[in-house]
Amino acid sequence: MSLKVLYENLQRSFSSTPATSKNGSPNLDDLIVARDILEIGAICSIRSRDEASFDRYFSQLLSFYTDYSSSLPPSKREFPIRGLNLIRLLTQNRIADFHTTLESLPIPADAIADNPYISHPVNLERWLMEGSYSKVWNARAEAPAEEYKYFVDSLMGTIRNEIASCEEAAYHSLPLKDAALLLFFPSQSDLLSFAQQRGWQIDLSGRMITFARKDEEKMEIPKEKLIASSLAYARELEQIV
């Protein structure tokens, strides 16, 4: 059964049951179903590349993970989704929020390394700060869940643009093979598509890429205005003296 079908079935089941028990308190079974619906919705939103939807689902799930943590049985999806949220913060360059969220997790600091869903984004953040981009690239193959790869790909897109800007400033041209290696492109077609987006010139026969450089803007110095300003400043100093 696909996640989408399971999500729809859970929604129908939840809508046909009472929201509270006879004494007026929340029905625990209903809370579990509601949590399941939100969790599956969060995962489906990542698979459909809808980050805004994931953000909404996660905001609602936090209530279940915190307010009802002592009442509900643990969810096997909690830490995978919490880890996805951490990587999402990294892709948005929200480093302060990343650390605040990490510190608020219901897991001891010395146990993070044993949780693959949390240690994965923690390692990514450290490698990004170190500039160890090759480790970020290799982390895609080590993702603890398929949904994590979406955010790793997003991070790599940002990294490639940063590397490309450095290449444009440092080199006039590079062999295709070297450019692909530096930009972590596994295939030439991916590199060529990226090069076209950046406006680079591609020489397939010579196997070279020539980078597009903006002409250095010449700054015109307003000499007359500078001289007039300097004279006025000198006169003011004379008056003061």
Cα distance between residue 7 and residue 3, in whole Å? 6
Residue-wise pLDDT for 168-179, tens only, equals: 999 999 999 999
In degrees, rounded to 5, the angle at the alpha carbon of residue 69 between the alpha carbons of residues 68 and 72 is 75
The 10s digit of each residue's pLDDT in 149-200 is: 999 999 999 999 999 999 899 999 999 999 999 999 989 999 999 999 999 9
At residue 173, φ and ψ (nearest 5 deg) are: -155, 165
Cα–Cα nearest to 98, from 70, 53, 129: 129
Q: For residues 220 and 74, which has the higher predicted lDDT (pLDDT)?
A: 74
Taking CA atoms, 97 is separated from 36, 49, 153, in Å, by 26, 21, 21
- Give the residue from 21, 24, 14, 149 showing the smallest Cα distance to 83: 149
Here the tokens at position 228 are 């007039």
DSSP 8-state secondary structure symbol assigned to residue 26:
B
Element (H, E) at 201: strand 201-203
* pTM (two decimals): 0.75
**Mean pLDDT to the nearest integer, 101-121:** 95
Instruction: Tell whether the model's pLDDT for residue 234 goes beyond 60.
Output: no
Whether pLDDT at 230 is above 60: no
